[in-house]
Amino acid sequence: MPLDHWENTGDKPSRFGFGEGVLEAAHKNSKVVGLGLDITTSVKMDLFAEAYPNRFRSLGIAEQNAMGVAAGLALSGKVPVLSTYGVFAAMRTTDFIRISVCYNNLHVIIGGAHAGISVGPDGATHQALEDIAMMRVLPNMTVLSPADANEARILTEKAINEWDGPIYIRFGREAVPNFTSEDAQPIIGKADLMREGNDLTIVATGHMVWEAIQAAQQLKQHKIEARVINMHTIKPLDEEILIKAAKETGYIVTIEEHQIMGGLGGAVAEVVSQKHPVPMKILGFKDRFGESGQASELLEKYSLNARGVVEGSLELLGVK
């Protein structure tokens, strides 16, 4: 059952959850192998490398080559996992992912680290704001965007050992509220209903899920009961929960650390517009690059927080 209040058990970067998930999968599956791309520690592939040095190779700053190596390993019966910054993992390597990995429908797990504006001081060149759009358009690709460290750990292990085909997992660098239960069982392809509500629906992904939950609490002050959905799987998208929400609440707000074109909002709109059209508000980056700054400052500046969700919701509902 969805809760009215979720508790943060302590801030933790979702990249730690990814690293822990890879390690858990490797404990259970001897076919799992790891590839490092210069920034092994930053993306927490070091946990796997230290535990299984004979199953890990560092390829340096050679992302495109790494996709070819990963494809070869998958064709030989291994389960390759590699990770680097999302801007490199999803965009510098797109052609190699498309032809070598997706065209062959190979089980390769790609970690897109430091995604979104909240990577902070690294600035526009390292802030992946287009990776969801790039990855979800590729045939056979599964796209995951966990909400916190616990969910990242659980979904990563499931993606490696229980799913098939190419998988892109998006996660962040900064410590964020960790509110998913340790023993939760999120299902790839099925969104999680975080909170009931009948006045409008807030669909969030990644770190924005916590902000959506906080916004729903604040909207109660306006006598608005907001339904909150954690869309941790961008592709395949859970159409059933979206159509139900559209029918029962009549309004949908989406929020993501991503461009408003081609991301979560676009994916939701594709479904809703064809199956049950309702007014929508898509919150995210509006066709611009990011900038350098502290994560909290950037999220505030671009309204990617609870305040932004509340304001967007009230605007959609026509409430002053």
- Report the C-alpha gap between 164 and 161 in whole angstroms: 8
CATH number at residue 102: 3.40.50.970
Whose tokens are 């969910």? That residue is 151
pLDDT of residue 194: 97
Instruction: Report the Cα–Cα distance between both ends of the chain, in Å, rounded.
Output: 32
Report if residue 181 sits inside a domain: no
As given in the structure block, the two tokens for residue 306 are 């609870």
Residue 33 forms beta bridges with which residues?
80
Contacts of 195 (CB under 8 A, 6+ apart): 2, 3, 4, 213, 216, 226, 227, 228
DSSP, collapsed to helix, strand or coil, labels residue 115 as: strand
User: Residues 161-185: pLDDT tens digits?
Assistant: 999 999 999 999 999 999 999 999 9
Claim to verify: residue 165 and residue 34 sit in the same structural domain: yes
Across 17-26, average pLDDT: 98
Cβ density class 94-123: b for 16+ within 10 Å, e for less = bebbbebbbeeebbbbbbbbbbbbbbbeee
Structurally, the chain folds into a number of domains equal to: 2
Report if residue 302 sits inside a domain: yes
Claim to verify: residue 39 and residue 113 sit in the same structural domain: yes
Across 280-290, average pLDDT: 96
DSSP, collapsed to helix, strand or coil, labels residue 102 as: helix
User: Residues 234-259: pLDDT tens digits?
Assistant: 999 999 999 999 999 999 999 999 99
Claim to verify: residue 159 and residue 247 sit in the same structural domain: no
Claim to verify: residue 223 and residue 311 sit in the same structural domain: yes
Report if residue 1 sits inside a domain: no
Confirm if 226 and 309 have CB atoms less than 8 A apart.
no
Claim to verify: residue 277 and residue 171 sit in the same structural domain: no
Is 3 a residue whose pLDDT tops 70? no
pLDDT of residue 122: 87
Radius of gyration of the chain (CA): 19
Q: What are phi and psi of 76, to 5 degrees?
A: -90, 5
Report if residue 61 sits inside a domain: yes
Report if residue 260 sits inside a domain: yes
What pLDDT band is residue 2 in, cutting at 50, 70 and 90? low
pLDDT of residue 34: 97
Claim to verify: residue 90 and residue 210 sit in the same structural domain: no
Cβ density class 215-244: b for 16+ within 10 Å, e for less = bbbebeeeebbbbbbbbbbbbebbbebbeb
Q: Dump the DSSP string for 123-149.
A: -GGG-BSSHHHHHHTSTT-EEE--SSH
Claim to verify: residue 148 and residue 27 sit in the same structural domain: yes
Across 39-44, average pLDDT: 93
Contacts of 58 (CB under 8 A, 6+ apart): 35, 36, 37, 38, 40, 49
Claim to verify: residue 200 and residue 172 sit in the same structural domain: no
Domain that holds residue 272: 192-317
Residue 80 forms beta bridges with which residues?
33
- Report the C-alpha gap between 47 and 317 in whole angstroms: 47
Claim to verify: residue 151 and residue 214 sit in the same structural domain: no
Report if residue 185 sits inside a domain: no
Q: pTM score, two decimals?
A: 0.96
Claim to verify: residue 225 and residue 160 sit in the same structural domain: no
Among 4, 7, 5, residue whose Cα is nearest residue 181: 7
Contacts of 113 (CB under 8 A, 6+ apart): 15, 18, 39, 42, 43, 83, 84, 85, 86, 89, 171, 172, 173
Claim to verify: residue 44 and residue 120 sit in the same structural domain: yes
Contacts of 212 (CB under 8 A, 6+ apart): 194, 202, 203, 204, 228, 255, 306, 309
Report if residue 122 sits inside a domain: yes
Neighbour count for residue 163 (Cβ, 10 Å): 16
Claim to verify: residue 167 and residue 221 sit in the same structural domain: no
As given in the structure block, the two tokens for residue 53 are 């040095």
Is 57 a residue whose pLDDT tops 70? yes
Report if residue 309 sits inside a domain: yes
pLDDT of residue 38: 86
